[in-house]
Amino acid sequence: MKQTHLAFGQGAAVARPVIGSKRFFDIGLSILLLPLFAIVAIALVVLNPFFNRGPLMYYQRRMGLGGQPFQAWKFRTMMPAKAIVRGAYDGLEEDRIAHMGRILRKARIDELPQIINVLRGEMSLIGPRPDLYEHACIYMKTVPGYSARHQIMPGISGYAQTQVGYVDGEEGVQRKVAADLYYIGHANLRLDLWILWRTLCVIAAREGR
């Protein structure tokens, strides 16, 4: 995989010509996905009391465009906890994932509510995945090039998710950042469509985490 190293603020000129068509694409597809979102939400309202007791939705503060925080929507997949104790470079808390939540994560259905974030103008369908805000603040200080990820809208799926997959640890975050910077430097609608296709393949193969 080709790696690029961009300082914060570089690369925006490359992405700017596709912003209009990208936003139109994001809104159009998100509207088409709203009925699916409603169907899944209704199903989980019925099933969660038996398989994952607790709230349907989970809201998490993440870092978005320009380093600004926003509340990302998700279907809750983990058992409720009083506080998040996972550090920036710690692995996924596998023991907290509910059985129903594991099914949702495998098919990445847990990310479906983020089409609301897309419609609100906080996310795009395709772009660098937004990290937990507190973790992102640490990455900005310790991972070269990390800040540059935030010059474009974060995405529900992205080049790093299709090419690198789920990562943890400092080396994993560095590989994710390299993939995201490659995307920023080559962003166009054709690449977005390819990433969308690869995302559908991951969903079909149930390779999510």
pLDDT along the chain (209 residues), means of 10: 37 48 92 96 94 91 96 92 74 83 91 97 96 95 94 95 86 93 92 93 76
Q: Establish if 209 belongs to a structural domain.
A: no
Question: pTM to 2 decimals?
Answer: 0.85
Give the pLDDT confidence score for residue 207 in this predicted structure: 66
- 3-class secondary structure for 161-205? HHHCCCCCHHHHHHHHHHHHHHHHHHCCHHHHHHHHHHHHHHHHC
Give the pLDDT confidence score for residue 179 in this predicted structure: 95
Number of domains forming the structure of the chain: 1
Give the pLDDT confidence score for residue 19 in this predicted structure: 66
Give the pLDDT confidence score for residue 166 in this predicted structure: 82
Q: Establish if 7 belongs to a structural domain.
A: no
Give the pLDDT confidence score for residue 156 in this predicted structure: 96
Q: Establish if 160 belongs to a structural domain.
A: yes
Which one-letter DSSP state was computed for residue 78?
B
- The residue among 154, 162, 160 whose CA lies nearest residue 124 is 154
Dist CA 27 CA 115 (whole Å) = 9
- The residue among 130, 119, 189 whose CA lies nearest residue 155 is 130
Q: 4 burial class (0-12, 13-18, 19+ CB within 10 angstroms)?
A: middle
Q: Establish if 5 belongs to a structural domain.
A: no
Give the pLDDT confidence score for residue 7 in this predicted structure: 37
Q: Establish if 6 belongs to a structural domain.
A: no
Which tokens in the block code for residue 140?
């900005």
Give the pLDDT confidence score for residue 87 in this predicted structure: 81
Q: Hey, is 65 helix, strand or coil?
A: helix
Q: Establish if 56 belongs to a structural domain.
A: yes
Q: Which domain holds residue 40?
A: 12-204
- 174 touches 31 (CB < 8 A): no
Q: Establish if 98 belongs to a structural domain.
A: yes
Give the pLDDT confidence score for residue 4 in this predicted structure: 37
Q: Establish if 2 belongs to a structural domain.
A: no
